Structure 1
């Protein structure tokens, strides 16, 4: 067990965290980490859904149009607040960093 953390390592780590952050700030820190993880999981799931949706569009026998709004005509949109002629963020090709 040369690379594993021993129980006394955990005790020292917890003591240092308590000294740095204090017991009054830890619940708020845990809440913000939990919210961040929830948002992260939601975004990952949306990316997976978009990726699987794009794979279905590119499959043989799939849709031949470039976007659903191109054949729908003017004024068509996903909701009442959509503006004809504007491209939504999900339809935009964003370069990867």
Structure 2
């Protein structure tokens, strides 16, 4: 789905009409915080998975 310039302008105008200009910076800030939290949680889940994979491998001593 490729958005053209006039479509983006229409989306911005509609957003301004619906939410009003004063609320948009707060909404953008909230969205940014939510994205940071989401990214950190995903990163933490990946680290936890890697740690579990490393712990699941048998020790060399136990193979002897």
Which runs of no fewer than 5 residues in structure 2 stay unpaired?
A: none
- Which of 1 and 2 has higher RCO (CA within 8 Å, sep 6+)? 2
Q: Structure 1 residue 49: deviation in Å?
A: 0.6
TM-score, scaled to structure 2: 0.87
Aligned length: 61
Per the alignment, residue 43 of structure 2 pairs with 45
Note the aligned Cα RMSD (angstroms).
1.6
Look up the SS of the partner of 2:13 in the other structure. helix
Aligned with residue 57 of structure 2, among 42, 56, 59 = 59
Q: Which runs of 4+ in 1 moved over 6 A?
A: none
| Greater fraction of residues in helix | 2
Which runs of no fewer than 5 residues in structure 1 stay unpaired?
A: 63-97
- Residues in 2 aligned to 1:20 and 1:9: alpha-carbon distance in whole angstroms: 16
